[in-house]
């Protein structure tokens, strides 16, 4: 029995569901029940009857799945799969920001550990940061954590002044305007799709600024046959798979997240077989994080 068939067999026996983030390796995406962004995957898993969730992504994503499905066993195939953006903010830093700005509300990007979400007033995603700002925090002073470039983009679109943390995604900031211009010279008819974690100089060149799910939806609907994709290159597999007649070009071939590439098929198999590595979120943290997520879901 090959490894894919063994995974399928165990998945049925154990009533498990496999989730894969858009940046995962192609072979991981291909054996997943759902492929998508972190929050949508967690919501989909919650709505299934599966008792085990195998989350192929990074650790904060698996925590979010556990927050939304506390009664289910959530496993991450490689426990060292971290995120430099998510780990950029600490509880101590939030406390200092709150002390300095006592009247401010904390708007927290979903790309953060559970303990950070629990200290926040409301969570947002890259897709709904603007909507959450306008509908939930329209009259509030806002501390935005941790991604300063998503914060800058949201500020620009809402005309709101944020107190920004200094975090950023190294993969997205590695994409430069020179990369975009080079690809545009090579593919002059291609539309440029950029993730809002990118630098302002890249966003200014984009035809559309979209989350990963937004990119996938746009690619299906648009009449454009060519697109330059300014985000982590893992998403190209899904885009090409779902749109075989269209062409997709990476803005930069070096836009690779090492944490998103650590999970292999053998890790997924072992996670199913031995039920490792379980993700736990303490009750007090889970309740605080759940409240902040629910504040977002009320409006988005």
* Model confidence pLDDT, tens digit, residues 216-263: 999 999 999 999 999 999 999 999 999 999 999 999 999 999 999 999
- Mean per-residue pLDDT, 285-297: 97
- Give the CATH architecture of domain 86-168+286-297: 3-Layer(aba) Sandwich (3.40)
**What residue ranges of the chain are covered by domains with CATH 3.40.50.10800?**
3-82+260-280, 86-168+286-297, 175-254
The closest alpha carbon to 91, from 296, 288, 290, 300, belongs to 288
- Give the CATH architecture of domain 3-82+260-280: 3-Layer(aba) Sandwich (3.40)
Helix axes 129-136, 283-297, angle to 10 degrees: 90
φ, ψ of residue 156 to 5 degrees: the values are -60, -40
φ, ψ of residue 291 to 5 degrees: the values are -60, -45
> Would you call 62 helix, strand, or coil by DSSP?
helix
How far apart are alpha carbons 165 and 172 in whole angstroms? 17
What's residue 192's pLDDT? 98
Contact (CB, 8 A) for 143 and 154: no
* Model confidence pLDDT, tens digit, residues 80-135: 999 999 999 999 999 999 999 999 999 999 999 999 999 999 999 999 999 999 99
Would you give the end-to-end CA distance of the chain in angstroms?
A: 44
- Give the CATH architecture of domain 175-254: 3-Layer(aba) Sandwich (3.40)
Contact (CB, 8 A) for 173 and 194: no
User: Over 90: is that where the pLDDT of 1 sits?
Assistant: no
How far apart are alpha carbons 164 and 101 in whole angstroms? 12
Task: Give the confidence band of 138 by pLDDT, cuts at 50, 70, 90.
Answer: confident
The closest alpha carbon to 145, from 171, 117, 173, belongs to 117
> Would you call 53 helix, strand, or coil by DSSP?
strand
The residues that bridge with 106 in the sheet, in sequence order, are 143
How far apart are alpha carbons 204 and 199 in whole angstroms? 9
E strands, the chain, are 16-21, 34-36, 52-56, 73-75, 105-109, 122-124, 142-145, 162-164, 191-194, 208-209, 226-230, 247-250
User: Over 70: is that where the pLDDT of 34 sits?
Assistant: yes
Contact (CB, 8 A) for 125 and 37: yes
- Mean residue pLDDT of the chain comes to 97
């Amino acid at each position: 029995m090959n490894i894919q068939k063994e995974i399928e067999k165990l998945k049925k026996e154990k009533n498990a569901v496999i989730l894969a983030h858009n940046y995962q390796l192609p072979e991981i995406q291909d054996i997943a029940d759902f492929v998508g962004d972190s929050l949508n995957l967690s919501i989909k898993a919650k709505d299934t009857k599966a008792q085990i969730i195998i989350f192929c992504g990074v650790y904060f994503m698996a925590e979010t799945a556990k927050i939304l499905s506390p009664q289910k066993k959530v496993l991450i195939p490689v426990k060292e799969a971290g995120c430099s953006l998510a780990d950029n903010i600490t509880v101590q830093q939030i406390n200092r920001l709150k002390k300095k700005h006592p009247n401010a509300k904390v708007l927290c990007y979903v790309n953060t550990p559970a303990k950070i979400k629990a200290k926040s007033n409301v969570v947002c995603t890259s897709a709904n940061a603007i909507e959450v700002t306008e509908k939930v925090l329209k009259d509030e002073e806002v501390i935005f954590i941790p991604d300063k470039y998503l914060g800058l983009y949201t500020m620009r679109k809402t005309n709101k002044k944020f107190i920004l943390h200094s975090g950023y995604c190294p993969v997205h900031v590695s994409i430069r305007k020179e990369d975009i211009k080079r690809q545009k010279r090579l593919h002059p008819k291609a539309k440029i799709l950029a993730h809002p974690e990118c630098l302002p100089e890249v966003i200014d060149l984009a035809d559309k600024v979209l989350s990963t799910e937004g990119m996938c939806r746009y690619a299906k609907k648009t009449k454009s046959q060519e697109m330059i994709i300014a985000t982590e290159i893992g998403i190209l597999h899904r885009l090409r798979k779902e749109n075989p007649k269209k062409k997709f070009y990476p803005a930069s071939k070096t836009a690779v997240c090492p944490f998103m590439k650590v999970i292999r098929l053998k890790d997924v198999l072992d996670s199913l077989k031995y039920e490792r590595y379980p993700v736990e979120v303490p009750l007090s943290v889970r309740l605080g994080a759940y409240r902040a997520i629910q504040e977002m879901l009320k409006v988005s």
